[in-house]
Structure 1
C-alpha cells in the first residue's frame, strides 16, 4: 500500500465521520452520550440566589381557582415580593391577552411603581426567513409603560431535549432578547439606576461585563441538577397574607407570606415566577433525564450559569479535528503492522481513555468534547484495517450503470456511481413518491386501429412520458402495457420528491397536449390519460431474482398510487391528476387543488382523502 493511501484512508474516514454527525438523527447519539456526563457528574448545589415562585398543584388547591389566575393576584404577588426584598422579579407567565381592563392596568401600574419586574413575550419563528416573523408582546398597558419584557422561546434539539438557551431572536433586523437575558440586563438596576445593554459579538454576547459564549444565538446550559434543584416556593404562599383568604384552607388563616417575610429568604434574590404544575404543560426534557424540568427552572439555570460563569462550551472543532487526525494516522500504522488482537486491545484502551478525558474536561473545565464520534472513528478505523481487499469498484460501477441507465437520467446514474450505498440490494423502508399513469380506453383503441398504428402512437407517447420523468429526476420503474410507473426520491434522495412527482404529472399533461395537437394535424385519433400520485414509505430495493436485477418498490404506498390512477376516470378532474392527502401534506404551500372525495383502500383502516391537482407554484430551490 502506498504512502498516499496510508494518509488518505484515515483522513477520509475521519471526514466521513464528521459529515455523518452533521445529520440531526446521528448527532443526537452524541448528545445522548454527553447527557450521560451530567448524570455521571451528579447534581451541583445552585445555592439560593435565585428563587422560583412555583404555580404548582399546592397553589391550585389553596386558591381553589382555575388557570389563568386573575391579574390582581399577580399584582399582589409583585407587591409582596417587593415587601420581602426581592431584587428582580421575572414572570415566565405570558400576559399577552387582554383581561379585565382595570386589573390589566393595575398589574402594569404596580410593576411600573416598583420598576424591577420583567414580563414575558414570545417570538413566532420563521424557518425560511431565519428570524421571527411575528412578536407576541405583553398586554398594551405593559408595553405602553415601557416595562421590560423578554421572549420565553425554548430551543430544543432534534430529540426535543433542551440543551441550549436562545439569547435573542431577530425581528425586522432588530434583536429581541429572551427572558434570561433581560434578567441579566436588569440585575444591577437598583444600584446603578440603568440596565446593561447587550453587545452581540462573534461567538459571544457581553452583558454588563458578563461574557456568554453563543453559537447561532444559543448558549449551552450547564444544568445544576434534575427538576426542582432550585429553591421553590408555592405561589399561594406568597400572596397568602392577612388580606387574602385561601379557600382551599377551609377557613384556616395560615398567612404563609409572613413566615417567608420573617425568614428573609427572598431578600435581594432574583425571583422567577412560572408554572410547575403538570396540567399547565410547561415542562421539558433535559440532559439529566428523569422528571421533566419546568420552563421557569430552565431560565433559572441559564441565569445562574451567566452569573457564576458556569457556561458550557464545545471543544474547539478544528483543534479536536487535528488531534483526531494525528491519532488516526498513528493508529492506522499500528493496525496495519500488528496482529488484529493487539490492535483490538489498543482500540479498546483508547475508547475508554477518550471517554475518561471527555468526563474530566466536562467536570473540571466545563468543556463538551466528542464521545461517540471519537469512539466510532476508532472502531471504524479498526474495522477498515481488517479489510484486506477492496471491492472490485469498476465491476460494481458497470453493474450499476447497466442496471439503471435505461430508466434514469445520466446525471442521476453518475451521482449514484459516486454513492453506490444509496442502492439497497435487499430491501429497505424509504419515503418516496410514486406516479402511475395510464391511457384511458386504450384497449378499445387497439381494437379499432391497426397494430402498426397502435405501436407507433404508443411508442411516440411513451417516449415523451419517459423523457419528462427522467428530466424531472424521476426513475422509470416499469411499463405495464400502456401504463407507466415512476418513482421519485430513490435511489438518489430528493428532498422535495412529492413536489417533483406532481410537477412531472403536470409536465406529462403538457407534453401530451403537444402530442394531441400533432395527432389532430395528422388526422389521427387522440386519447387522454389518468395520473395518480401518492407519497409515503415503501419497501425499495432489488426485489428481482438472483439472475435478474429489478430495482423497484412495493407496499401500501405503491398500491394506493395505482388505485388513484385507476379511479381518475370516475371523477371530473381538471387535468386528470389525482393526488392523495399524504402527497398534499408535502406540497400544500405550493399546490392549487380541489377536494374530491374520500376513498377506502385495502391496507388502510380509514378512508383516504383525494384531491384534484390543478396547478403548482414554483418552489425556491
Structure 2
C-alpha cells in the first residue's frame, strides 16, 4: 500500500492530501484546547517571540511613566527589603515633593512592620520609669501608622490573587460585583485566595490592583491578566487601575458577548476614554516596548536622598510612578519574549503605557481575534491544495524553490499583519504544512542523496566514526570538502623508542603489535568525534572541527588524549600478560588556524590538514619524551579547553618558530582532582614561578620535595633541577625570559 502511495504523481497527490487533512485536524484540536503546551502551541510561542524580537512595537516614549527601582544599589544604601514602613512613607513623600501625580506599588505590605518601642516594652527587665516614658512613644514609632497617614487615593497598593490557600490582609473594594447567575456564566478567570496589604493601609482610601503574572507553560510571560474574579467580585490589575486614575475615568466596565450559556469576556472599558481588548479569560498580550530599561528608571535611594541626577528627578514631575524591583534577591524577574531577567514592574509599565496610548487614539495593543481559527484553517486548505496538487512531478530544485517561496510569503504576510494590523496570527501549522508537503515531494531527489552518500562514505569511511559518517550523509551540506582555513585542534601520538622496540620483534609480531595499538587509540579518537588524518608507522595524527563543525573541538581533543593514555595503560597490562613488549606513547596537541580539505594530486588525494599550527602539535609530541610527561598541549589548546586540571610544563620556543609557547600537561578532568593532587600541582606552579623569577633557592627546595613525594613525575622535576644545577641566577642576562629553546625537531 505505501509503495503504491509514493509511486507517481497520483500517489504523491494522495499522500499530500492525507498530510493536509491530518495537519488541519491537528490545528483544529489545538484551537479547541489552547494553552496545553502541545507541539503546535510551543512552536507558535517561539514564532511569537521571534516576531517581538524582529518587529518590536514602535511606540512614542512621550508619556510620563517612571519606574522607581528598589535595585541592588538601594538595598546596599537603605537596607534589605522589606523596609520599615516609615521609610516607605518617606519615599512617598519624596516622590510627592518631586511632583509625582500617581504612585503604584508593585509590592505588598501584608505583614505588620516591627515597632522598636513595642519590642522594648515587651522586654522583661525594662525599668518601670523607662516603660512609662516609652509607653507614650509607641504611636510615634509605628511605621504602619506612619505609612497609613501618608497614603491617599492616588497611591495604589498591589496585592496578589492566587490559589495557594489562605487569605492575608484586606482587599480593596472590587470595581464590579456580578450577579450570581452572571458570575456563574462568565469566562473571567477566578482565583479564590489573596494576599493583600494590612487593613489599616487599605482602609485609608488608597486603591490598588493585583500584580499577578501568569507565565505560559514554557515559563515566558507573554500575557498578563487585566481582570480577575474572586467569587462575584471583579478586581483590576494595578496597571489598569492606574490607567483609570491617570485618565480621570469614573469607572471600569467589563465587555462580554453571549456564547450559548456563557458570557465570554472580550474587553474592559475605562470610562469613555479607552477600551482594552482581552481574551476570554481576561488576559492581555503584553505589548513590550523593548528590552528592560525602555522606561525612565530611577534608583529608589536616589529619590529618598535626593541625590539622583537632576534630569531623573525632573522626570518625576506629573509622572505616573511604578515602584518595583530589579534586584535579584527580591524574585521579581521574569522571562519575556525579549529577554530573561526582565523586571516584573516593567511589565506593568508596558501595559500602562499601552492603555494610555490607546486613550490618545494610538493603536498600541496586539490581539488574536475570534476569527483567527477560521482564517488559519481556510488558509491551510487553500495553500495545502495548491501544493499537494501542484508539486508532484516537478524537479527537486523547483519544489525546493516553491517551498522556500511559500515559507517566505507566509512569514512576510504574518509579519505585515503583526506590524501594521497588530494581529498575532498562528504560523506554526502553516509552516509545518509547507515543509511537510515539500519534503514529501522531494523524495524523487534520492538519487542525488545516494550519490552523496557513496562519495562521503568512500572519502571518510576509514577516518571518522561510522556515526559521524551517517551525520554527514544525512546533512551533506554541512561537510567541508573544499580547502578552507578554520580554527582546529590537531593531535599527534607516537610510541616512544619505537625503533629500538621494533628491533626485537619479527615482522609478524610487529604488525600484530601495531595493529592492536592503532586500533585501540583510533577507537578512543572516534569516541571523541575526532578525524584520523593518517598513520605513519607508529605515529597517529588526528584533528577536530572538520569535516563537521565542532565548537568544543579543543575540549574533545584533550579528553581524547587523556582517554588514550588510560587505554594504553590497559593495553600495556594485556601485552605484559601475553609476554609482549610494553611501551608508552607521547601525545602533543595544538589549537589554531589550519588549512583543511580534500588535497593532493590527480593520482592520489586525501582529506588532510596543513599549516604552522599543525607543525607545532608535532613538535609538542616529540617533546613529551624530553619532559617525561605523557601529554603536552599548547597555551592555545589550554585556553579553549578549561574543563581540565593542568600542570604548567615549560615556556618553550621550538625549531622553526620564533613565537614562545607555554606548554602544559593536562592531568585530569576538572572536579576529579583530589586535594592532595591539587596541593602538589599548586606547589609545582609556585616552584615554576620562583624559577622564572630567579628565586632558584626556593625553586630547588620545592622541586626536591616534590620529587620525593611524586616519583612518577620525577622526570619533569629533574629537568628543572638539572637546569639550575650549575648556573648562578645572578649571572643570567638581564633580558632572560625563562624561555627554553629546543633546537631539534
TM-score (normalised: structure 2): 0.47
**Residues 597 and 208 from structure 1, CA distance in 2 versus in 1: closer, same or farther, beyond 3 angstroms?**
farther
**Counterpart residue number, 1:595:** 648
Match of 1:43 among 59, 79, 82: 59
**Residues 592 and 306 from structure 1, CA distance in 2 versus in 1: closer, same or farther, beyond 3 angstroms?**
farther
Check the 8 A contact 2:325/2:343 in 1, yes or no: no
Check the 8 A contact 1:34/1:368 in 2, yes or no: no
Match of 1:360 among 408, 411, 417: 417
**Residues 422 and 85 from structure 1, CA distance in 2 versus in 1: closer, same or farther, beyond 3 angstroms?**
closer
Is 2:515 the counterpart of 1:459? yes
Is 2:569 the counterpart of 1:508? no
Check the 8 A contact 1:51/1:231 in 2, yes or no: yes
**Residues 303 and 508 from structure 1, CA distance in 2 versus in 1: closer, same or farther, beyond 3 angstroms?**
same
**Counterpart residue number, 2:352:** 304
3-state DSSP of counterpart to 2:541: strand
CA deviation string 1:133-182 (max 9, x = no partner): xxxxxxxxxxxxx9xxxxxxxxxxxxxxxxxxxxxxxxxxxxxxxxxxxx
**Counterpart residue number, 1:408:** 464
Is 2:79 the counterpart of 1:79? no
3-state DSSP of counterpart to 1:399: helix
Check the 8 A contact 1:437/1:530 in 2, yes or no: yes
d(CA) in 1 for partners of 2:607 and 2:514?
24
Displacement of 1:359 in angstroms is: 1.9
**Counterpart residue number, 1:222:** 287
Displacement of 1:397 in angstroms is: 2.4
**Residues 334 and 113 from structure 1, CA distance in 2 versus in 1: closer, same or farther, beyond 3 angstroms?**
farther
Question: Over alpha carbons, which structure has the higher Rg?
Answer: 2
Check the 8 A contact 1:45/1:224 in 2, yes or no: no
Check the 8 A contact 1:328/1:381 in 2, yes or no: no
Is 2:9 the counterpart of 1:2? yes
CA deviation string 1:95-150 (max 9, x = no partner): xxxxxxxxxxxxx997995488999xxxxxxxxxxxxxxxxxxxxxxxxxx9xxxx
d(CA) in 1 for partners of 2:63 and 2:554?
54
CA deviation string 1:402-436 (max 9, x = no partner): 22222333343344333333322214566654332
Check the 8 A contact 1:429/1:537 in 2, yes or no: yes
d(CA) in 2 for partners of 1:318 and 1:418?
38
Match runs of 1:423-572 below 5 Å: 423-428=479-484, 433-446=489-502, 453-488=509-544, 490-491=546-547, 497-521=553-577, 523-535=579-591, 538-546=594-602, 548-555=604-611, 558-572=614-628
3-state DSSP of counterpart to 1:543: strand
Q: CA RMSD in A?
A: 6.5
Check the 8 A contact 2:288/2:347 in 1, yes or no: no
d(CA) in 2 for partners of 1:552 and 1:320?
52
Check the 8 A contact 2:74/2:300 in 1, yes or no: no
Displacement of 1:448 in angstroms is: 6.3
d(CA) in 1 for partners of 2:323 and 2:601?
70
Displacement of 1:207 in angstroms is: 7.3
Check the 8 A contact 1:222/1:301 in 2, yes or no: no
d(CA) in 2 for partners of 1:460 and 1:232?
69
Displacement of 1:226 in angstroms is: 9.9
Displacement of 1:453 in angstroms is: 4.9
Check the 8 A contact 1:433/1:487 in 2, yes or no: yes
d(CA) in 1 for partners of 2:157 and 2:498?
73
Is 2:665 the counterpart of 1:611? yes
d(CA) in 1 for partners of 2:343 and 2:579?
73
Displacement of 1:69 in angstroms is: 9.5
**Residues 323 and 557 from structure 1, CA distance in 2 versus in 1: closer, same or farther, beyond 3 angstroms?**
farther
d(CA) in 2 for partners of 1:200 and 1:247?
34
d(CA) in 2 for partners of 1:400 and 1:346?
27
d(CA) in 1 for partners of 2:293 and 2:668?
55
CA deviation string 1:559-585 (max 9, x = no partner): 443343232223343xx0234455555
Check the 8 A contact 1:409/1:471 in 2, yes or no: yes
**Counterpart residue number, 1:578:** 632
3-state DSSP of counterpart to 1:367: coil
Ranges in structure 2 where 5+ consecutive residues have no aligned partner: 1-7, 24-39, 80-86, 108-140, 149-154, 159-167, 169-194, 229-236, 238-264, 266-276, 279-283, 328-336, 359-363, 673-745
Displacement of 1:479 in angstroms is: 0.8
Check the 8 A contact 1:358/1:369 in 2, yes or no: no
CA deviation string 1:446-476 (max 9, x = no partner): 4666655544433332233223333554332
**Residues 578 and 117 from structure 1, CA distance in 2 versus in 1: closer, same or farther, beyond 3 angstroms?**
farther
**Residues 612 and 468 from structure 1, CA distance in 2 versus in 1: closer, same or farther, beyond 3 angstroms?**
closer
Displacement of 1:354 in angstroms is: 5.8
d(CA) in 1 for partners of 2:76 and 2:577?
77
Q: After the TM superposition, which of the residue ranges 303-312 and 403-412 deviates more from structure 2?
A: 303-312
Ranges in structure 1 where 5+ consecutive residues have no aligned partner: 16-21, 56-65, 92-107, 120-145, 147-183, 214-218, 276-285, 288-293
Equivalent pairs counted in the alignment come to 481
d(CA) in 2 for partners of 1:338 and 1:405?
34
Match of 2:322 among 265, 270, 273: 270
3-state DSSP of counterpart to 1:2: helix
Check the 8 A contact 1:519/1:526 in 2, yes or no: yes
**Residues 393 and 509 from structure 1, CA distance in 2 versus in 1: closer, same or farther, beyond 3 angstroms?**
same
d(CA) in 2 for partners of 1:114 and 1:352?
58
